Structure 1
Amino acid sequence: MKLFMKAPAKINLSLDVLHKRPDGYHEVKMVMTTVDLADRIELIEGTSDQIVLTSQHQFVPNDERNLAFRAAKLLKERFSIQEGVHIVLHKRIPVAAGLAGGSSDAAAVLRGLNRLWKLKLSLSELAELGAEIGSDVSFCVHGGTALATGRGEVITPLPPPPSCWVVLAKPVIGVSTGDVYGKLQIDRIKHPDVEGMMDALYRQDYDQICALLGNVLEPVTMSMYPQVALIKEQMQRFGADAVLMSGSGPTVYALVQHESRMHRLYNGLRGFCDQVYTIRMDGEPHLT
């Protein structure tokens, strides 16, 4: 038997950090939504009881460093599964980009193996398991649009944003989330209006969503990597409705409603950034 799963990327509409927790993580308050850029995952019943992971991407590990591998191992061990699985990752989401590609792959493996191995777990139960793998995995299990609190594992669904174009641009650098959080000075943070963003989503107020985009990690990453700030400036210059860095970066995204402006942004960015994508908002949750 073979299953195909979609693993969509996410962007942060709002990302706030409240304080450092006793467990070493940071207490966060984030509004995230999925976009129509996705990895594709094949789950193939194994002929042995081993977990095998393959990918055509040279920078994707095929062992326990990979969150998708760890997701399969967690389910296999937790529920004493005697079967194996071959996981084939078809990567489209940029690696180490602030788009939760690895977390979304892990979430897709959890959802897919739940079906393949007939575990009959709910999405909430899968999300709880996902929290053991990584902070963004719980959100990615549910997908859609949500408020994420705690260290990112407490998920409250929200309405999807109004339909618009999203232009993503990733410079040729990888950013360590740990390094960015390590340089964050919490006492100097200008906190974004997360409640206002949630209200704007409920009211489907595109202009207000654009006005309230905020990410407390953005200044930190930009101070470490000036090319991230340059991309944001270029997007603003080419007429984006709003621009923000996603996660800990380095990917920056622009929101635009008009297709002609989307093409202008894309063409302008292609001049100095290799990885540029024009996609649509997704924002709809997974049903199973």
Structure 2
Amino acid sequence: MKTITETAYAKINLGLDIIGKRSDGYHEVSMIMQSVGLSDEIVISAGQGKEGITIATDMAGLSCGSDNLAYKAAELLARYAGINPHVHIALKKKIFLAAGLAGGSSDAAAVLRGLNKYWRLNLNADELRRLAAQLGSDIPFCIEGGTALATGRGEILTQLDDLSPAAVVLAKPKGLEVSTAWVYQHYNKGRVVHAPCIWQLQAHLQDGARALVPYMGNVLETVTIPAHPVIASIKAAMLGAGAYYALMSGSGPTVFALAPDQEAAANITAALADFSVETAITTIVGRIK
């Protein structure tokens, strides 16, 4: 039986700034997005029984119905290509759920890449990104990942040179889910004390993770941290254990730390023992070729 396997990488935001509110209701953003090695595996195979799309996952609490972004991606591509789908999509999950790591978005992007091969459509990355933008703001980035400047509502991408390798620690408070829509709705620019300097981040990407620290930041912390102070406590513990920098990813609640090496990453993870968190030690990864 023919199968296609794709890797869906999580993402972090090295810098996330909001420029203003758009006429379409979305926020105008400026972000440096970065893929990391924590990943899901997407396996596409022939469907069983009647025609259609079926989803299976090994993660409890994740819907396998038509509201799953992977399902929506398959449905969209089938409609675009004029195909009556008969496929089964297995999601082998490692990315934390509802975590600000683009897990669902990355799965959807992997489904678009995988079905493009499975159905031999030969669509290029730009065509896949245009389709992905119909599903969500992070999904176009996840088509190729790597390091990119994202503007507009996040779907306008400028691919940047891959960031130098660095150790990364991810920590998500167990049982805590944050609504991205809620965070953006409650954003108030007047509460921002420290915003990232996106152009300086771009300029220093090849100078190593430590060189990025003065320019990093996430303005959405001003919404999520007051609602969930444990995020600030996790950041403080990571910094106290030797992280170069610790920052909330996206709208949260996951916090990531940049570490000097894998040994330091292990020490940072150990410093979180008193917190109820899911953790992972991973690394920066480059663009999908």
Asked if Structure 1 and Structure 2 have the same fold, meaning a TM-score greater than 0.5 normalized by the shorter chain, the answer is yes
Which residue type is aligned with residue 12 of structure 1? N
Q: Match for residue 161 of structure 2?
A: 159
Q: Match for residue 176 of structure 1?
A: 179
Structure 2: runs of 5+ lacking an equivalent: none
2-structure distance, mates of 1:269, 1:161: 27
Q: Match for residue 17 of structure 1?
A: 18
In the TM superposition, what are the counterparts of 1:178-193 in structure 2 within 5 Å? Answer: 178-189=181-192, 190-193=194-197
Correspondence for 2:119 among 117, 120, 123: 117
1-structure distance, mates of 2:261, 2:38: 19
Q: Match for residue 281 of structure 1?
A: 284
- The DSSP-based 3-state class of the residue aligned with 1:16 is strand
Of 207-216 and 83-92, deviating more is 207-216
Q: Match for residue 261 of structure 1?
A: 264
In the alignment, structure 1 residue 131 sits paired with structure 2 residue 133: yes
Structure 1: runs of 5+ lacking an equivalent: none
Which residue type is aligned with residue 10 of structure 2? A
CA RMSD of aligned residues (A): 1.2
2-structure distance, mates of 1:273, 1:160: 33
TM-score normalized by the length of structure 2: 0.95
Deviation at 1:21, TM superposition (A): 0.8
- The DSSP-based 3-state class of the residue aligned with 2:271 is helix
Q: Match for residue 247 of structure 2?
A: 244
In the TM superposition, what are the counterparts of 1:191-206 in structure 2 within 5 Å? Answer: 191-201=195-205, 203-206=206-209
In the alignment, structure 1 residue 103 sits paired with structure 2 residue 105: yes
Of 270-279 and 153-162, deviating more is 270-279
Deviation at 1:182, TM superposition (A): 1.1
Q: Deviations over 1:219-259 (max 9, x none)?
A: 21000101111101111111111111000000001101133
2-structure distance, mates of 1:225, 1:156: 33
Q: Match for residue 212 of structure 1?
A: 215
Contact kept in structure 1, 2:196 and 2:217, CA below 8 Å: yes
Q: Match for residue 52 of structure 1?
A: 54
Contact kept in structure 1, 2:166 and 2:260, CA below 8 Å: yes
2-structure distance, mates of 1:258, 1:123: 33
TM-score normalized by the length of structure 1: 0.96
Which residue type is aligned with residue 244 of structure 2? D
Which residue type is aligned with residue 4 of structure 2? L
- The DSSP-based 3-state class of the residue aligned with 1:94 is coil
Deviation at 1:270, TM superposition (A): 2.9
Deviation at 1:271, TM superposition (A): 3.0
Which residue type is aligned with residue 199 of structure 1? A
2-structure distance, mates of 1:118, 1:258: 41
1-structure distance, mates of 2:167, 2:120: 38
1-structure distance, mates of 2:282, 2:144: 20
Q: Deviations over 1:50-71 (max 9, x none)?
A: 0000112121111122111000
Which residue type is aligned with residue 45 of structure 1? A
Contact kept in structure 2, 1:170 and 1:252, CA below 8 Å: yes
Aligned residues: 285
Deviation >4 Å, runs of 4+? none
Deviation at 1:187, TM superposition (A): 4.2
Contact kept in structure 2, 1:147 and 1:156, CA below 8 Å: yes
1-structure distance, mates of 2:189, 2:145: 29
Deviation at 1:46, TM superposition (A): 1.9
2-structure distance, mates of 1:224, 1:83: 43
Identity over aligned pairs, percent: 43
